[in-house]
Amino acid sequence: MSHHQSKYLCVNFFLDDDSDGTTDRYLPYGTGAGEDQYLSGDWDGDGIDEIALRRGNVMFLDDDSDGTTDRYLPYGTGAGEDQYLSGDWDGDGIDEIALRRDDKFLMNYDTDGTPDRYLVYGLGNAEDEYLIGVFSDTVV
């Protein structure tokens, strides 16, 4: 959290652009409210990850890393048991949002807020942890 002369709290992201262990820039985004969830992804396909904030069932996407919301994406119900994930689900070079509810993944390829694909995987237990990554060159 940063301290500044504002009545609003702000979360600062410390970005190390060249992986040298030193902060190169700060990105203020969101308020840091306990119910907020932050995600990163390449929302615009430029090869650089940006920040998104989920509050309830709305994603606030910052496409150009300037600390302001460029797009809003309502998705899912925002229920506490839902887990929101980001990844390039369709292999087009642009990251999208998926929602995990129990053992079901609802993937939204075109960021219109409607699931384009449903995937069932694992048991969906609360203690299960799902990781996102490129584990093969096959798009499913």
Buried residues in 74-104 as b, exposed as e (16+ CB within 10 A): ebbebeeebbbbbbbbbeeebbbbbbbeeee
* Predicted local distance difference test score (pLDDT) of residue 139: 57
State pLDDT tens for residues 93-115.
Answer: 999 999 888 889 999 888 888 89
User: Does pLDDT of 6 surpass 50?
Assistant: no
State residue 86's pLDDT score: 92
pLDDT of residue 91: 87
Query: Does residue 58 have a pLDDT over 50?
Result: yes
